[in-house]
Amino acid sequence: MIGQGVVLMVAGMGIVYLFLSVLIVVTKVSMKGIAKYDSILPQDAPKKKPAAAKASGDDADVALAIAVALNG
């Protein structure tokens, strides 16, 4: 019974190892293929997010909300 468990364990680990090895090979091959054709569709420049202008009344509103919550 223990021998069958060991055989099953070794077979399962072997299948996982084989799958991961194939996955690594396929990933490396696809990276080379994508790099070859990357110049066809150049990537867009990252868009800059506009700096949020802080309104002067925000601090007063926050203080008011805190006071209402505490006295509540």
Whole-angstrom distance, CA of residue 10 vs CA of residue 4:
10
What is the distance between the alpha carbons of residues 67 and 12, in angstroms, rounded to a whole number? 62
DSSP state of 41: S
Question: Mean pLDDT score of the chain, rounded to an integer?
Answer: 86
Q: Is the pLDDT of residue 19 over 90?
A: yes
Structure confidence by residue, pLDDT tens digits, 28-61: 999 998 888 877 877 777 778 776 655 566 788 8
